Chain A
Amino acid sequence: MQFKTATSPHIAQNNSVQGVMFKVLLAMVPGTIAMIVFFGWGVLINILLASVVALSCEALMLWLRKRPIMPYLTDGSALLTACLLALALPQLAPWWLTMIGTAFAIIVAKHLYGGLGFNPFNPAMVGYVVVIISFPREMTQWVPPLLEDYTLLSFTETVKVIFSGELPLTYTWDAVTMATPLDTVKTQLGLELSINEIETHKLYGPMFGAVGGFGWEWVNGLFLASGLFLAIRGIIDWRIPAGVIIALLVLSNTFALYDYASFTPPTFHLFSGGIMLGAFFIATDPVSAATTTRGRWLYGIGIGVFIFIIRTWGSYPDGIAFAVLLMNMAAPLLDYYTMPRAFGHRWNEFPHHHKEHDDES
């Protein structure tokens, strides 16, 4: 009798890339629902639009690169990129903006670098940065979260706005969009208003919720909860979000203690904008992150530091995308210099480059 041969181990494992991706996608559902509730149908339309574009681009690129369409198309990675980017875009962003961002993410940031597993930069964040630099005006079309003086558009109205770029006759842009709380605080601090004055301001006061931005705190809270779930299940590495949050908390606390009036309070940092989505779902993309234990700590902390710097002194109100991309660049270096101590080795053994061999090859 002839038997099949194979290499060890012979026990089949029960996890897959697809499984990892879909668990992450599933964990994004509660936060996404909260966003739809507070910011309207635009969130969902963006997700659907980005998903269709992402899957089409993925299929096209796989075909062009002569790679098998299956199982890559259904591995969930393109879908995850689409969802992350869609959630980061303004709810009333025009359709072409979403399309350009998504197409750039999949075609350039992912496939031109070699596809799944080979992209040095987080594709969703590359797509985001492309559109925020290219189309800054359209990137301000954020919907206010269920505030009294503002109207939330209906589903059909939203579809019309996104695809035609024109508002229904009865509305003005100022009535349906407004700057995000982070943006507002940044602008008003720049205009020499103190945090107290902004919080009690007739116009800006309602944007503050119990701990963060109104509505945003719910969104962030839910992303935090499901992110923790993923971390506990070991699907994402907890060190990265921990690093991001700790760094941001320490820095914002230090500066707020130093001068409460002119720096954004720590809770507002954490529970407004995209921090929890960024920390648990974007920064944890393993392909572009550091992989060693200590490397991941440093990677997370680096992102937190850059977010604080960009938010406080930079020209963008949030800054997660730039922070993530900056640390993506540092990831290979972090990995090399944070190699774990191998079993039976001493800590002071440091890998040395085989210079002479490098020269030969």
Chain B
Amino acid sequence: MSRKPHQLWHFHGGLKLDGHKAMSTASPIVKAQIPKRLVLPMNQHIGETAVPLVEAGQQVLKGQLIAENNSYISAPIHAPTSGTITDISEYPTPHPSGISSPCVVLEPDGEDRWIELKPLKHPRNSSPAELRQLIRKAGIVGLGGAAFPTAVKVNPGPDVHIDTLIINGAECEPYISCDDMLMREHADELVSGCELIQYMVSARHCLIAVEDNKPEAIEAIQAVISAKALHTVELVVIPTIYPTGGEKQLIKVLTHKEVPSDGFPADIGLLVQNVGTAVAVHRAIYLGEPLISRIITITGEGVNRPQNMQVLIGTSISELIEQSGGYHEKASKLILGGPMMGFTLQTDHLPVTKGSNCILVENSEEQMTQAMPCIRCGACATACPAQLLPQQLYWHASAKNFDMVQDYHLFDCIECGCCAHVCPSNIPLVQYYRFAKTEIWNHERERIKSDHARVRHDFRQARLDREKKEREEKLRKKKEMLAKKKQAEAAKQAEGETVAVDPKKAAIEAAMKRVQEKKAAREATESDSTKSNNNSSTEQQ
């Protein structure tokens, strides 16, 4: 190699752990058999749940779109093989809480017939935006475990300049070896994928970082880079320290830069992608294949034949264990992910998803050792790669002092588990941090809710007040008018007594006067003549 070795830096803390990787790397990647049933969760990624496009009873082909993404941060889902859709309803999915979520169930027909694919022979003739669109349509998400939609990640926006693309092949967690095996067996696809992503984000450099405990993978990648005589893609061998594979830690090791606590790698001109994602990108562009399978490590002392398998998304974990020689008789713990950050599953009747990288079966016979009080030894702070004070976080989290835990930067904790691993008092520290985070999120949600409610209440109150005021105003005006009328009448009356009298009344009075005058006059003239008549008439009556 003519290039001088890339300068490396250290992140604070971290651990040297036993790898236990050789147990699953002895044999090449095995293609898992097509199972009897595939359960495809509609939410295998970060973001909005995908919406099914198929109906029960419908025939689908391998690679056919069966669920689409209706929002930007989401990913579509494709049929992993050809067959019949038998059900669309809720099924248990691999999640720490064992929650059920909407799934599409596919019964394979065993023919594994592809839909017509549209490979792109010369991707450099397409614009980065066109390639991003292809990646979006292929349903690619980050295969390192987070499952964040890749199309979003490779679109940092017009104002952001990505200088260096970092391809994460560290795979720092013990037992997991799917990335190692992928790099060994698919180095050419990996490098091709790197070049594609580099083109998409127009990054000047691409660094492929691999821990020094994977000599075969390093050799394979170096051979491809040398053969292709690439000048902008560089393989960097980094020391094996957990958690070097963490995005922020890897960036620190390679560039000495720190991603701002409230920012993204793109803010400092970097983009990090997992090696598996790079291969998926290659396949989506050059072969036109959507993401319908991935490599999963099935390993641990509790499984009889540890190995790496190319698995269709939606395959049941129990199926994979069976194909790996079944459980050891002492198997006791089933973990999805690695031993440091993975979570335990109660049952193996769960499908694997795009983000599943490892199924670890433990033989642990030792009973849980009792947690002792914290002796403030500070071993946790020494090991913490986020440069936090884990024991102070623990202290305040257990006291439910949620303001103080945030002062001590709880939300910079990556839950890597280094602190809990070195704790002589055996305190399940990470559990306390998760608890505190969840509580704070709940408080936040409550706060937002109550803020909403308060705004609504205030609005309603204001409306009621306004209406009341308006009513009062109306009433007041009415009263005023009435009062004015009365006043006017009173005034008129007073006036009439002195000067003007109501003409009607005056007319009546005048008429009455006239009538009286007439009466009086008639009485006077007729008084003598009618006297006798009147008398007789009165007698007649």
Report chain A residues within 8 Å CB of B174: 11
- Min CB–CB distance A159 → chain B (angstroms): 35
| CB of A12 closer than 8 Å to a CB of B | yes
Chain B CB within 8 A of A116 CB: yes
> Once bound together, how far apart are the Cα atoms of A17 and B375, in whole Å?
8
Cβ contact of A351, chosen from B347, B370, B372, B408, cutoff 8 A:
B408
A277 CB to nearest chain B CB (Å): 20
**On chain A, which size bracket covers the interface?**
35 or more
In whole angstroms, what is the CA distance A345 to B375 when docked? Answer: 28
Residues on B with beta carbons closer than 8 Å to the beta carbon of A12: 364, 366, 369
Given A2-B347, A71-B370, A341-B387, A286 and B407 touching (CB < 8 A)?
Answer: no
Which stretch in B69-77, B145-153, B326-334 binds the other chain?
Answer: B326-334
The CB with the most chain B CB atoms within 10 A, among A3, A19, A75, A293, is that of: A3
Q: Which of B339-354 contact A (CB under 8 A)?
A: 339-348
Contact B344 A3 (CB under 8 A): yes
What string of 1s and 0s marks CB contacts (under 8 Å) between A232-273 and chain B?
A: 001001000000000000000000000000000000000000
Which residues of chain A are within 8 angstroms of B254 by Cβ–Cβ distance? Answer: none
> Which listed residue, A7, A19, A354, touches B428 by the CB 8 Å rule?
A7
Chain A minimum-CB-distance residue to B246: A343
Q: Point out the residues of chain A lying under 8 angstroms from B109, CB to CB.
A: none
| Contact indicator A11/B339 (Cβ below 8 Å) | yes
CB-contact partner of B340 in A11, A117, A296, A358, under 8 A: A11
Scan A16-29; emit 1 where CB is below 8 A from any B CB, else 0.
Answer: 11011000000000
B360-391 residues at the A interface, CB under 8 angstroms: 360, 362, 364, 366, 368-370, 372-379, 381-382, 385-389, 391
Residue of A nearest to B400 (CB): A361
Kindly identify which residue among B327, B339, B387, B391 contacts A342, using a CB–CB cutoff of 8 Å. Answer: B387
Q: Which of B27-35, B413-421, B497-505 forms part of the interface with chain A?
A: B413-421
A8 and B430 in contact, given A237-B378, A291-B378, A291-B389 (Cβ under 8 angstroms): yes
Q: Is B62 an interface residue (CB 8 A)?
A: no
With A15-B424, A344-B258 in contact, do A339 and B430 touch (Cβ < 8 Å)?
no
CB distance from B451 to the nearest CB of A (A): 16
Q: What distance in Å separates the Cβ of A225 from its nearest Cβ neighbour in chain B?
A: 22
Total count of chain B residues near the partner, CB < 8 A: 70
A136 at the interface (CB under 8 A from B): no
Residue of B nearest to A357 (CB): B403
Does any Cβ of B come within 8 Å of A4's Cβ?
yes
Q: Quick one: which of B217-266 are within 8 Å of A by CB?
A: 248, 252, 258-263
What separation, in Å, do the CA atoms of A357 and B404 have in the docked complex? 10
Residue of A16, A19, A116, A234 touching B373 (CB-CB under 8 A): A116
Known: A117-B373, A352-B407. A4 touches B391 (CB 8 A): no
B101 at the interface (CB under 8 A from A): no
Q: Which residues of A contact B366 (CB under 8 A)?
A: 12
Distance of A118 Cα from B398 Cα, bound (Å):
14
In the complex, A353→B396 CA distance in Å? 14
A6 close to chain B: CB less than 8 A: yes
The yes or no answer to A42 lying at the interface (CB within 8 A) is no
Q: State whether A344 touches B372 (Cβ < 8 A).
A: no
Docked pose: A357 CA to B396 CA in angstroms: 14
Check A3–B332 contact: CB distance below 8 A. yes
B420: chain A residues at CB < 8 Å are: 8-9, 13
Binding site for A on B (CB under 8 A): 11-12, 17, 174, 248, 252, 258-263, 327, 331-335, 339-348, 360, 362, 364, 366, 368-370, 372-379, 381-382, 385-389, 391-392, 403, 407-409, 412, 415, 417, 420-426, 428, 430-431, 434
**Cross-chain pairs A/B with CB under 8 angstroms, 5 sampled:** A13-B423, A20-B424, A292-B389, A340-B387, A344-B260
By Cβ-Cβ distance, the 10 closest A-B pairs, closest first, are A117-B373, A9-B417, A344-B261, A354-B403, A351-B407, A342-B409, A3-B334, A286-B377, A5-B344, A10-B339
